[in-house]
DNA sequence: ATAGGGTTAG
């Protein structure tokens, strides 16, 4: 007996994965399963039927199921297996041909199938034979209503999360409003739906109004905050969750780690790792990946790699997190090496992996290597380049000063360049002081995206570099007239397990007086070292400038001053910033690291800067 | 005998 045929539990998934197994093979398998009495239990029978259906033999699948008496139970088991399988759309075909009227179980499986399709559509993962996720969603909801099962709580919660998966919060709200007495599960589904739709405040109101919250409800709310980037709120809520005595499990910790990663809360992240070990929690792929991501994004890349190496099972997410972590930390060569290891390990890289490895090459100036990766994408891995990848390539050439190559690359693109491509060229023009090219790139960029704030700021900086102050104020006027809003800059620093956030020109911190004194002291000691503020790149914070009539302090300087006050001298200062660090702040921080003899690790939008003894790990190349 | 809500990479 071939080993595969010994146990339905092992043979069925491989059958389901095969696109179109030969009918002879199926019949042989069927016969074997019958003879060896593997199909005696209904669950095995349903699994076999589902495997048949998944591999394109729905009619055969139905024949396998008991016909007389036709039990709805067996057909429901088929629906369930199909809804969970690789081709959830088949559940609709099976539903249409049910030999008996469907019950509330049938409907809940159908809704689940629609949810799976909606989730795949949202992730742009086309599922074979897919019609239209929205159409199927509405029809499954309609079927539930028609068959009189819309009031079943399992169907209700399923419908709410189905619309959420489609991205239709309004429909989720409407479905929720129809529910006379939503139970805990339905409310939790709605909390998740609201948060996923970006309305985290509405989610919180609903959450606060819950008479009872179990750990899943807490998880939904914590994850909701993480989803919209409110990491500090997520961590605060997690504290409350623990005080409330809710069970902390894998899902919770994954969200908490994601929050730590977002805001660079290394101490908190370390605590989670310790907590996992002290509870002897299993290092699942998801949890391990979240740890690798957290350590990478907190600049602890060595620890990230230790976790990575210690993991027993790794998937494409894990590898991509690690590759991306090395890229972000400026370790281009190591990033490339890990990518090659990934290839030899037989893990198929996807588009996200290539974004990471191309960025790694770009940051380390590895132009030829990056080019080779880009070429291998399609040839070797069958991944079609996205617009982002074209942007990465322009960045790769442009950063390295090969502006002609960048332009040729754009001209040879088989698709219309998008704003990211022109943005990369614009940035390269700024780095290499090419005003003409910068103007050209900006025109193209604004023709596509007239509200792009970063583009206006970059143009202003290009003008400022060439001392063209009229140009600077013109850009400012244009932004005002067009109503372009600059994303407010913030910097975060963790002190004593608490996250402190600073905003441009902010004065609201309880220790602002001390911060001001420290800033004055920093300025005094820097002047002694011959530092003069960089007026070339003018600080560009319209709102603040207008309010205060003076140039405001960028948030990273406030965070830095606070770090110098609040952290012991032996400790490095870690700052996370949401935008890219400007040249002035970069120069300033380099000198501070020298004059105050401190290590400063700053994560900006794109990468890490590791300041020590007056130099930065990015070698002024960012 | 079959069911629902929360979890990872750019």
Condensed to tens digits (0 to 9), the pLDDT of residues A284-317 reads 999 999 999 999 999 999 999 999 999 999 999 9
Please give the sequence-ordered ranges of beta strands (E in DSSP) within A216-319, or none if there are none: none
CA torsion sign for A282, A287, A292, A294 is negative
Is A476 part of a structural domain of the chain? no
Mean pLDDT of the A385-409 span: 95
Is A607 part of a structural domain of the chain? yes
Share of chain A above pLDDT 70, in %: 89
Asked if the model's pLDDT at residue A123 lies above 90, the reply is no
Distance, CA of A45 to C1' of B2, in Å: 13
Q: Which residues of A491-509 are buried (b: 16+ CB within 10 A; e: fewer)?
A: bbbbbeeebbbbbbbbeeb
Query: Among A44-53, A105-114, A202-211, A555-564, which stretch is predicted with the lowest mean pLDDT?
Result: A44-53
Task: Confirm whether any atom of chain B, the nucleic acid strand, is less than 7 Å from CB of A500.
Answer: no
Give CA–CA dist A406/A393, Å, rounded: 8
Asked if the model's pLDDT at residue A601 lies above 70, the reply is yes
Is A9 part of a structural domain of the chain? no
- pLDDT score for A354: 97
Nucleotides on chain B that have an atom closer than 7 A to a protein CB are 1-10
Is A328 part of a structural domain of the chain? no
Give CA–CA dist A13/A51, Å, rounded: 7
Mean pLDDT of the A94-110 span: 95
Asked if the model's pLDDT at residue A542 lies above 50, the reply is no
Distance, CA of A41 to C1' of B6, in Å: 32
The nucleotide lying nearest A76 (C-alpha to C1') is B2
Bridge partners for A493 per DSSP: A500
Is A554 part of a structural domain of the chain? yes
Is A311 part of a structural domain of the chain? no
Task: Confirm whether any atom of chain B, the nucleic acid strand, is less than 7 Å from CB of A603.
Answer: no
- pLDDT score for A92: 94
Asked if the model's pLDDT at residue A562 lies above 80, the reply is yes
Task: Confirm whether any atom of chain B, the nucleic acid strand, is less than 7 Å from CB of A250.
Answer: yes
State whether residue A608 is helix, strand or coil: strand
- pLDDT score for A468: 77
- pLDDT score for A544: 35
Is A337 part of a structural domain of the chain? no
Distances (CA, A) of A85 to A16, A99, A123, A542, A607: 8, 22, 17, 53, 39
- pLDDT score for A2: 44
Asked if the model's pLDDT at residue A11 lies above 70, the reply is no
Task: Confirm whether any atom of chain B, the nucleic acid strand, is less than 7 Å from CB of A386.
Answer: yes
- pLDDT score for A137: 95
* pLDDT tens profile A578-587: 988 888 889 8
Distance, CA of A89 to C1' of B6, in Å: 25
Is A247 part of a structural domain of the chain? no
Mean pLDDT of the A571-575 span: 94
Residue holding tokens 């809704």?
A: A111
* pLDDT tens profile A133-156: 899 999 999 999 999 999 999 999
Banded pLDDT at A540 (limits 50, 70, 90): very low
Give CA–CA dist A395/A327, Å, rounded: 14
Banded pLDDT at A469 (limits 50, 70, 90): confident
* pLDDT tens profile A27-65: 777 777 777 666 666 667 777 777 777 777 777 887 887
Query: Among A234-248, A357-371, A427-441, A466-480, which stretch is predicted with the lowest mean pLDDT?
Result: A466-480
Using CB atoms within 10 A of its CB, is residue A459 exposed (0-12), middle (13-18) or buried (19+)? buried
* pLDDT tens profile A236-250: 999 999 999 999 999
Distance, CA of A372 to C1' of B8, in Å: 28
Asked if the model's pLDDT at residue A332 lies above 80, the reply is yes
Mean pLDDT of the A404-416 span: 94
Query: Which structural domain, as residue segments, surrounds residue A576?
Result: 490-616
Mean pLDDT of the A588-598 span: 94
Mean model confidence pLDDT for chain A: 87
Query: Among A2-6, A115-119, A154-158, A357-361, which stretch is predicted with the lowest mean pLDDT?
Result: A2-6
Banded pLDDT at A105 (limits 50, 70, 90): very high
Asked if the model's pLDDT at residue A6 lies above 60, the reply is no
Contact status, residue A193 vs residue A163, Cβ threshold 8 Å: yes
HSE-up (13 A, CA, CB side) for residue A282: 6
- pLDDT score for A549: 32
Number of domains present in the structure of chain A = 1
Banded pLDDT at A446 (limits 50, 70, 90): confident
Residues 434-453 of chain A sitting with CB below 7 angstroms of strand B: none
């Amino acid at each position: 007996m071939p080993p595969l045929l010994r146990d339905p539990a092992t043979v069925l998934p491989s059958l389901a994965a095969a696109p179109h197994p030969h009918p002879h093979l199926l019949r042989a398998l069927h016969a074997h399963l019958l003879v060896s009495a593997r199909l005696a239990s209904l669950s095995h029978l349903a699994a076999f039927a589902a495997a048949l259906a998944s591999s394109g033999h729905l009619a055969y699948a139905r024949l396998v199921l008991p016909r007389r008496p036709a039990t709805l139970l067996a057909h429901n088991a088929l629906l369930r297996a199909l809804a969970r399988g690789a081709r959830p759309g088949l559940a609709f075909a099976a539903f249409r041909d049910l030999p008996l009227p469907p019950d509330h179980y049938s409907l809940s499986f159908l809704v689940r199938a629609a949810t799976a399709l909606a989730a795949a559509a949202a992730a742009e993962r086309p599922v074979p034979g897919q019609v239209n996720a929205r159409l199927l969603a509405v029809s499954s909801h309609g079927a539930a209503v028609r068959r009189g099962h819309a009031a079943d709580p399992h169907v209700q919660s399923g419908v709410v999360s189905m619309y959420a998966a489609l991205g239709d919060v309004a429909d989720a709200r409407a479905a929720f409003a129809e529910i006379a007495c939503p139970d805990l599960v339905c409310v939790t589904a709605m909390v998740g739906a609201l948060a996923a739709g970006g309305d985290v405040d509405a989610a919180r109101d609903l959450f606060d109004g819950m008479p009872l919250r179990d750990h899943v409800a807490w998880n939904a709310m914590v994850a909701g905050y993480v989803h919209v980037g409110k990491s500090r709120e997520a961590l605060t809520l997690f504290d409350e969750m623990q005080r409330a005595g809710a069970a902390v499990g894998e899902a919770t910790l994954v969200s908490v780690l994601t929050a730590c990663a977002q805001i660079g809360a290394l101490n908190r992240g370390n605590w989670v790792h310790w907590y996992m070990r002290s509870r002897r929690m299993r290092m699942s792929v998801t949890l391990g990946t979240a740890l690798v991501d957290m350590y990478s994004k907190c600049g602890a890349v060595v620890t990230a790699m230790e976790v990575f190496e210690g993991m027993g099972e790794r998937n494409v997410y894990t590898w991509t997190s690690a590759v991306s972590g090395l890229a972000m930390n400026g370790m281009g060569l190591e990033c490339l090496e890990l990518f090659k290891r990934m290839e030899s390990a037989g893990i198929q890289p996807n588009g996200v992996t290539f974004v990471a490895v191309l960025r790694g090459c770009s940051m380390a100036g590895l132009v030829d290597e990056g080019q080779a990766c880009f070429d291998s994408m399609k040839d070797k891995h069958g991944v079609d380049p996205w617009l982002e990848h074209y942007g990465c390539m322009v960045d790769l050439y442009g950063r390295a000063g090969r502006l002609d190559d960048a332009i040729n690359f754009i001209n040879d693109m088989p698709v219309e360049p998008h704003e990211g491509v022109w943005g990369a060229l614009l940035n390269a023009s700024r780095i290499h002081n090419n005003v003409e090219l910068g103007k050209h790139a900006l025109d193209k960029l604004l023709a596509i995206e007239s509200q792009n704030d970063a583009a206006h700021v970059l143009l202003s900086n290009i003008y400022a570099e060439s001392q063209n102050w009229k140009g600077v104020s013109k850009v400012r006027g244009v932004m005002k007239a067009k109503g372009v809003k600059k994303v407010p800059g913030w910097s975060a620093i963790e002190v004593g397990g608490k996250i402190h956030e600073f905003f441009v020109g902010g004065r609201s911190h309880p220790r602002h007086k001390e911060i001001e004194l420290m800033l004055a002291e920093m300025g005094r000691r820097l002047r002694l070292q011959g530092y003069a503020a960089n007026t070339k790149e003018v600080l560009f914070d319209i709102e603040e400038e207008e309010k205060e009539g003076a140039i405001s302090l960028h948030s990273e300087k406030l965070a830095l001053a606070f770090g110098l006050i609040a952290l012991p001298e032996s400790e490095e200062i870690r700052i996370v910033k949401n935008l890219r660090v400007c040249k002035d702040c970069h120069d300033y921080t380099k000198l501070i690291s020298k004059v105050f003899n401190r290590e400063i690790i700053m994560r900006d939008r794109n990468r890490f800067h590791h300041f020590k003894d007056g130099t930065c790990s990015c070698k002024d190349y960012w």
